[in-house]
Amino acid sequence: MIDQADKNGPGVKFPPPLITLALIFIGWLLDQLLALPIAQQTAVAGAILLLASAAIIAGITAFQFFQAKTHIEPWKPTSTIITRGVYRYSRNPIYLAFCIATPGAGMLLNSWWVIAMVLPLIYLLQRLVISREEKYLEQKFGQEYLAYRDSVRRWI
């Protein structure tokens, strides 16, 4: 049962996957204006490695949300703090996966512009999503969340 005061979760307004896709698109547009290509032979292998790693991390994380029976969407309330699996190493494994996938997409698109979009992505995720989530989790779970936050790094 969701507490009425908690029905809006952390109040995230921009879905993180859309932020990621928008920045990849902006990088691609910049590349159309002023191409900054990468050496193609190494880029494809690197792209596959990064995109596969990101997909594995995101898939494992999504499965952990499913197992915990809590919302994966950051604009919905959460019922628990997940501290096992990938959450033992990162408090934000899905966002980490987005940050790994972005340079992978850049390598696949043969664009340094897209790779460079990982920097604004990290900034926007921190400002628009992570800071709200952390505040929400601290208010909702108190000392339990603070202990977890103090024992696991934000990214890796």
Q: Two tokens at 68?
A: 């915990």
How confident is the model over 22-33, as a mean pLDDT?
A: 97
**Confidence band for 3, pLDDT divided at 50, 70 and 90:** low
Q: What is the pLDDT of residues 107-116, one digit of tens each?
A: 999 999 999 9
For residue 46, count CB atoms less than 10 angstroms from its CB and return exposed for 0-12, middle for 13-18, buried for 19 or more.
Answer: middle
How far apart, in whole angstroms, are the C-alpha atoms of residue 58 and residue 90?
A: 12
Quote the CA–CA distance of 116 and 96 in Å, as a whole number.
15
Q: What is the pLDDT of residues 85-140, one digit of tens each?
A: 999 999 999 999 999 999 999 999 999 999 999 999 999 999 999 999 999 999 99
Degrees, nearest 5: CA angle 125-99-95: 50
pLDDT at 2: 46
One-letter amino acid of 3:
D
